[in-house]
């Protein structure tokens, strides 16, 4: 396995997780992709002349120095390579999985037993309590709680999981690890990295943008074996997470009472969530069932990391700094 070459593929404009997979499947390894001729590379679907030129322009020596700096600052690089056992297996089963993840903290084998709890950034007090209590109950049962580290429901879910003895939680952000969004959650992200992990498919200096926040939704759902939407408005990011989950073959549950959740239930896109013992037993059982692989699809930032490819990662990253 060459983590360096997977890192380089992730920094190539136009190469998302699916294209990286196709390249590695065709040539045998990420390293062999770089040894292939321009003509051979262009035979791979979606690989254009511009992508080949961008691939050739990468300086592997510079990228190796960046990797060393990341390691010095306790950031792990998890790759889709079959030999990389640290890459989350739930996410690996998704056709739109990113080729690489930046990880602060640690992922355990038990984190595959996971449920995402998501919702609006401006919840009612009742919904915030529901998210906290649901996450706490799941964590007490050994389920890792996944969310997006946003204000409101996400933060309540992370805090609920961490309120349980030995509870674990994973936050997926739509920015680099140096650019935690919202800013007030930067110190909380450090706490989370000690009781789970904070993950991003973006290089550390990448700021939050709408397209990044939407792209991370598929990672939230992909890491999980079920998604619970606690409160949502129509057209919200939480509903995007629910839609991604359905495409990935994950069951979706919704707490009734908000416009977005009621719409999911009305359309038959979600089952009703009632945070009672019987439902929690069912959800825990779902979380313990491995997902099936889904059909091929391309998603993610597709090379939006390239700004970092020609820049040095500072020796002191100051993770979660804003």
Tell me the per-residue pLDDT of 303-313, one tens digit each, with 9 for 90 and over.
443 333 334 44
Which pLDDT value is given to residue 181?
Answer: 87
**Alpha-carbon distance values, 224 to 47, 119, 139, 189 (Å):** 30, 15, 14, 19
pLDDT level of residue 316 (50, 70, 90 thresholds): very low
**Strand boundaries in 130-284, DSSP class E:** 144-147, 169-172, 196-200, 227-229, 252-254, 271-272
Q: Kindly indicate the confidence band of residue 110, based on its pLDDT and cuts at 50, 70 and 90.
A: very high
- pLDDT over 70 (residue 302): no
* Tokens 């396995």 found at: 1
Question: Higher-confidence residue: 321 or 229?
Answer: 229
Instruction: Look at residue 164 in the predicted model and tell me its pLDDT.
Output: 97
* Sequence spans of domains, the chain: 3-105, 109-287
Q: Single out the residue of 184, 129, 188 nearest to residue 156, CA to CA.
A: 129
Per-residue pLDDT tens over the stretch 22-67: 999 999 999 999 999 999 999 999 999 999 999 999 999 999 999 9
**pLDDT higher than threshold 70 for residue 322:** no
Q: pLDDT higher for 296 or 194?
A: 194
- pLDDT for 319 equals 64
The conformation of residue 110, written as its DSSP 8-state character, comes to G
Fold designation for 109-287:
Rossmann fold (3.40.50)
What confidence category does residue 275 fall into, taking pLDDT thresholds of 50, 70 and 90? confident
Query: Sorting pLDDT into bands at 50, 70 and 90, what band is 202?
Result: very high
Paired sense of beta strands 144-147 and 114-118, if any: parallel
Element (H, E) at 75: strand 75-79
The predicted pLDDT at position 246 comes to 96
Determine how β-strand 75-79 pairs with β-strand 100-105.
Answer: antiparallel
Residue reference for tokens 């906290």: 132
- The mean predicted confidence, pLDDT, of the chain is 91
pTM: 0.90
């Amino acid at each position: 396995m060459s983590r360096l070459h997977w890192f380089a593929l992730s920094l190539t404009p136009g190469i998302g997780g699916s294209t990286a997979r196709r390249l590695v499947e065709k040539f045998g390894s990420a390293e062999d992709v770089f040894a292939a001729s321009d003509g051979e590379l262009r035979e791979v679907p979606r690989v254009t002349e511009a992508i080949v030129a961008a691939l050739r322009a990468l300086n592997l020596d510079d990228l190796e120095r960046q990797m060393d700096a990341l390691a010095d600052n306790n950031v792990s690089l998890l790759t889709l390579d079959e030999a990389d056992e640290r890459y989350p297996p739930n996410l690996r089963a998704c056709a739109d999985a990113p080729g690489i993840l930046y990880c602060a903290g640690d992922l355990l084998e038990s984190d595959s037993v996971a449920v995402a709890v998501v919702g609006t950034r401006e919840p009612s007090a009742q919904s915030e309590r529901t998210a906290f209590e649901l996450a706490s109950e799941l964590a007490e049962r050994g389920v890792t709680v996944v969310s997006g580290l946003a204000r409101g429901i996400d933060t309540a879910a992370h805090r609920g999981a961490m309120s349980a003895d030995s509870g674990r939680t994973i936050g997926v952000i739509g920015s680099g690890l140096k650019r935690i969004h919202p800013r007030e959650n930067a110190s909380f992200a450090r706490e989370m990295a000690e009781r789970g992990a904070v993950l991003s498919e973006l290089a550390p200096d990448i700021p939050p943008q709408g397209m990044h926040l939407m792209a991370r939704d598929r990672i939230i759902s992909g890491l999980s074996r079920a998604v619970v939407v606690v409160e949502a408005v129509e057209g919200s990011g939480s509903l995007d997470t629910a839609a991604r989950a359905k495409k990935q073959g994950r069951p979706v549950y919704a707490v009734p009472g908000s416009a977005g959740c009621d719409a999911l239930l009305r359309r038959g896109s979600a089952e009703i969530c009632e945070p009672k013992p019987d439902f929690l037993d069912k959800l825990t059982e779902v979380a313990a069932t491995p997902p099936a692989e889904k059909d091929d699809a391309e998603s993610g930032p597709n090379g939006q990391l390239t700004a970092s490819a020609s820049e040095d990662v500072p020796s002191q990253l100051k993770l979660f700094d804003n």
